[in-house]
Amino acid sequence: MFKCDSRLEQFKKKMEISIENFQKELAGIRAGRASTSLLEPLRVDAYGTQTPMSHIGTISSPDSRTLTINVWDKGLVKFTEKAIRDSGIGLNPIIEGQLIRIPIPPLSEEGRKDLAKLAAKYAEETKIALRNIRREAMDFIKSLEKSSEISEDEMHKLSDNTQNMIDEFSKQTDSFLAKKHSDITCV
């Protein structure tokens, strides 16, 4: 049974990672307000290596419509600006010495709809990942029953527990999506 418990914990950990990744993807979707999490997923080509934005300089939000990055190495200012412009998030940075100021423009209605669709796409991808993990876990549980390592009753109990976990993670996904959708449409 120990083999089974540790393996099921691995499946649960995979589900938690899927939810964490979903939250990071949602954080990268701007909702009209300045949020430092908008820039965190971006990478800068620094000295031939793709470096996270947070390793290039200090990211801050002085007000609800502006982000700033105080780049530590003056030689990386242009690369940082390029990474922001090429990111596809629709921001136009302004260089002021080693400080990059990024005004956050208000979203149009069409832009809001596009971002809501993107958030829904991320949610669906997360649910697909959860279903794949469930399938893998169920196959594992059935293989244990087939090899007589667990009884049929134990198989049904483990299957029910796995399904309950999936249901809980799906509810979390829906909850995070609803919150992000509210942020996008009610700004």
Residue 123: band (very low, low, confident or very high) from pLDDT cuts 50, 70, 90: very high
Which SS3 state, helix, strand or coil, does residue 87 take? coil
Q: Where are the beta strands (DSSP E) in 17-93?
A: 43-46, 49-52, 57-63, 66-71
pLDDT tens-digit map of 19-68: 999 988 887 776 666 677 778 778 898 888 888 888 889 998 888 788 89
| Count of CB atoms situated within 10 Å of the CB of 166 | 20
pLDDT tens-digit map of 145-176: 898 888 888 889 989 999 999 999 999 999 99
The radius of gyration of the chain's CA atoms, rounded to the nearest angstrom, is 22
Tell me if 53 sits within 8 A of 80, measured CB to CB.
yes
What's the pLDDT score for residue 32? 62
pTM of the model: 0.69
| Count of CB atoms situated within 10 Å of the CB of 29 | 19
Please report the domains of the chain, with CATH numbers, ordered by start residue: 2-27+108-185 (1.10.132.20), 36-103 (3.30.1360.40)
Q: How far apart are CA 164 and CA 49, in angstroms?
A: 42
